[in-house]
Amino acid sequence: MTAERRALLQQRVTQAFIKTYGTEPAILVAAPGRVNLIGEHTDYNDGFVLPCAIDYETMVAIGPGSGSQVDVVACDFDSDRDSFDLTEPFAKQSTEWKNHVRGIAASLIDKGLSLLGANIAIGGNVPQGAGLSSSASLGVALAKAFTELSQPGALNETDLALTAQHSENHYVGCACGIMDQLVSARGLAGSALQIDCRSLATKPIPIPDHMVIVVIHSGVQRGLVDSAYNERRIQCEQAATHYGVAALRDLTIEQLEAGRAGLDPVAYRRARHVVTENARTLAAGAALAAGDQDTVSTLMAQSHVSMRDDFEITVPAIDRLVDITAEFLRGAGGGRMTGGGFGGCVVAIVPKTKVAALETWINQHYQTPDQAIAQLFVCEPSGGVSIL
């Protein structure tokens, strides 16, 4: 399934490249999307996350261009085209995908790399608007492709991730943390990655053989994400300032309670989510490593409640989908909303033997806002960015 999906994508992107530029690409790069098992909105608070790279990916085919010119064709947007000159300053485009390409080129130049002109074809199979980080996978794949064409090996995986985050923050206009890009760059097959978002140290946590990761799309497209996301970020920073800490990662639950006088109640609840979520993420990593599925399930359920009540980033359809999933699993697996929030997907860790029955159950009990059945993706924990 995974190999077949990749082969189809590779064929699609390679053919688009040949059709557009009349020659074979020099390099093909693939970078995965991700699903976060637990640790939501903790990354930009210097905290802990537990994502997993998945076998849905973005592919970039690249070859030398003429002079400092970059030409791009986007297979997933009706073969839409862009072209720009590397010597010109970054100019924001009204079409979002173009800002990712221009932003990565600009970010690599900011980092001191000298880039060569390039011909590029892009395609992917990460569901868009689902909270599975199609943008991060695009950014990491592009950063790797540009680097390998111009200065092979000049950046390690962490630098590729930081470059892709820089592009999002400074050029695309999303104040995201480092989680998505880092796991897309450094993911490990078979494992989730516990990341300390302050030091960027990672610890692989193998997914037990008898369990699988299932992603269930609520059918609610993520709306108003950027403004709500940025607002949460500012509230977290306000809370950190109130407590006199560099980031909420530095606060214990005892300090949170003892010092809450004078803090706006909303900012307090935002901080409580972050502080408790950091603790849950570390505990879930340890429980997953020990094969303690009961604890993982409990922590995932608590994480969802905290996102719903304290961080207020869930929507009713997602809450219902999480409840329906929990009713089926009855503690034999865990489920929660995953990603930035306001729609998107639920992630569940489920015994392999129950996947088919879970799908039937969800189809019987949940309908998307368009009265359709929910799409389920069984995801394999995958490796990070690679050259094919």
Which residues are identified as catalytic?
A: 180
Which token pair is 127? 């569901």
Question: Whole-angstrom Cα distance, residue 121 to residue 24?
Answer: 11
123 binds ligand GLA (CB under 6 A): no
Q: How far apart are alpha carbons 11 and 7 in whole angstroms?
A: 6
48-49 and 191-196 beta bridge pairing: antiparallel
* 179 near ligand GLA, judged by CB under 6 A: yes
44 contacts ligand GLA (rule: CB under 6 A): yes
Q: Is there binding between residue 187 and ligand GLA (CB under 6 A)? A: no
180 forms part of the interface with ligand GLA (CB under 6 A):
yes
Under the criterion CB under 6 A, does residue 61 sit at the interface with ligand GLA?
Answer: no
Closest CB to ligand GLA among residues 41, 354: 41
337 in Cβ contact with 346 (< 8 Å) = yes
Specify the stretch interacting with ligand GLA by CB under 6 A; choose among 175-183, 251-259, 290-298, 370-378: 175-183
Q: Could you tell me which residues come within 8 angstroms of residue 92 by beta carbon, excluding any fewer than 6 positions away?
A: 99, 171, 173
- Three-class SS of residue 14? helix
Q: Please tell me the distance from the alpha carbon of residue 219 to that of residue 204, in angstroms, as a whole number.
A: 31
Size of the site for ligand GLA (CB under 6 A): 11
Choose between 115 and 337: whose C-beta lies nearer to ligand GLA. Answer: 337
Rounded least distance, CB 28 to ligand GLA, Å: 25
Which helix (H) or strand (E) element contains residue 54?
A: strand 51-64
Q: How far is the CB of 216 from ligand GLA (least distance, A)?
A: 17
Instruction: Select the span of 14-22, 33-41, 201-209, 283-291 touching ligand GLA (CB under 6 A).
Output: 33-41
Tokens at 246, concatenated: 């560099």
Q: Determine the Cα–Cα distance for residues 279 and 269; give it in Å rounded to an integer.
A: 15
Q: Applying CB under 6 A, which part among 37-45, 154-162, 257-265, 351-359 lies near ligand GLA?
A: 37-45
Instruction: Pick from 339, 343, 381, 384 the residue near ligand GLA by CB under 6 A.
Output: 339
**Vertex 301: Cα angle to 257 and 259 (nearest 5):** 5
Question: Could you tell me which stretch among 110-118, 177-185, 203-211, 293-301 binds ligand GLA (CB under 6 A)?
Answer: 177-185
Amino acid at 248: L
Q: Which residues bind ligand GLA (CB under 6 A)?
A: 36, 40-41, 43-44, 176-177, 179-180, 339-340
